[in-house]
Amino acid sequence: MNMEWIKNIEDEALKEIENTKTEQELLLVKSKYLGDKGKITLGIKGIKDLDPSLRRDVGYLLNEAKRKIKKAISEKKFVEEEEFFDETLPPIMPSFGKLHPITKIMNEVVSLFVQLGFSISEGPEIELIEYNFDALNIPPSHPARDMHDTFYVDDKWLLRTHTSPVQIRVMKEKKPPIRIIAPGRVYRRDSDISHSPMFHQVEGLLVDHNISFSNLKGILSFFLQEMFGHDAEIRFRPSYFPFTEPSSEVDIGCILCSGKGCRTCKNTGWLEILGAGMVDPEVFKYVGIDSEKYTGFAFGLGIERIAMLKYGISDIRLFFENDWRFLTQF
Ligand code: FA5
């Protein structure tokens, strides 16, 4: 230990203090020089072993070095690091909700018919038994009442089994020309892979002079091609509804099995998606429209069936289980 050594240690310590960037680093430097085993501390402890003639000067220098190092440490200020802001990074987005697949298809169907000049009408889900059945030419003894497996509320009201009673409400209010669609929820005691106790229909009704079945076929074919593409297989099949004559059901070639037959299409290769026909004169009579002057067509689409075909979903019940893993796929 000589004077030069002490000076070097002092310079080294002051330089290191200057270079520290954090409190942590500063503490390390402090202990390296001033800690129990620090260089300056050991130097001071070693004074007693020196030649007595040197002790005074060395002691003075070591204490001076200790004082300067302590001062430098206490005066050390760290420049506050500026918060780094990268404006090119994408923001953290809140997670947004999504439309339910059934709502999406419903919106798509409604907007296609609105483009064709149809306006939107709505009716109540708790409906008069009279409008749901009697007015539509389904008297109490009619077997079609059983086909609908109805939820009755009391002896006057029921949960509507289809959107067709909206036809009655509209025609009672308004005289032709009429061109409406009626979207909404309907209810039936029915549940399996392609039937749900609550499901959605869109009713269509067009009444005017000289409306024929070919107008109905034209509009529905256009709609189905817009919905499923021009290659989609469409089948009009004769059917029966008490409120239309003649009547038809429309099937789409099952997309799930490419028409080969599967559980969803019950091995037929086809999935029924709508019922339609020419408004029966008995219905016109109930609402007071002259069937000698006017004719019309009506149809009722099943929205879940359309969604199943469009998205390739084999079980209708998936739509209503609210499973996040299922719903986020759309
Ligand atoms: C009717 O409901 C008639 N009101 C349709 C109609 C309107 C015919 C106007 C003529 C004129 P249907 O019961 O077939 O018909 O039902 C129509 C469509 O609803 C079916 O083609 C099917 O796509 C769908 N559907 C019927 N029952 C269920 C159910 N339980 N779950 C899901 N979709 C169903």
Contact 272, 234 (CB under 8 A): no
User: Ligand 1: distance of its center to the CA of 259 in Å?
Assistant: 21
Q: What is the pLDDT of residue 81?
A: 65
Is there an atom of ligand 1 within 6 Å of 201 CB? yes
What length does the chain have?
330
Residues 12-38 have a mean pLDDT of: 93
272 lines ligand 1 (CB under 6 A): yes
* 204 CB within 6 A, ligand 1: no
Which atom of ligand 1 is closest in space to residue 205's alpha carbon?
A: 9
Of 217, 228, 272, 284, the residue with max ligand 1 atoms within 8 A of its CB, to mutate for a pocket test, comes to 272
- Give nearest CA residue, ligand 1 atom 32: 195
pLDDT at residue 147 greater than cutoff 80: no
* pTM as predicted: 0.73
pLDDT over 80 at 280, yes or no: yes
Give CA angle at 118 (115, 120), nearest 5°.
110
178-187/119-120 β-pairing: parallel
Which helix (H) or strand (E) segment holds residue 315: the answer is none
- pLDDT, tens digit, 9 for 90 and up, residues 42-74: 999 989 998 888 889 999 999 999 999 999 999
Q: Which atom of ligand 1 is the closest one to the Cα of 274? A: 21
101-327, superfamily in CATH? Answer: Bira Bifunctional Protein; Domain 2 (3.30.930.10)
Average pLDDT of the chain is 92
In angstroms, what CA-CA distances link 264 with 194, 196, 278?
A: 7, 13, 29
Among 289, 286, 235, 230, smallest CA distance to 259 is for: 235
Domain residues of the chain, as ranges?
A: 3-75, 101-327
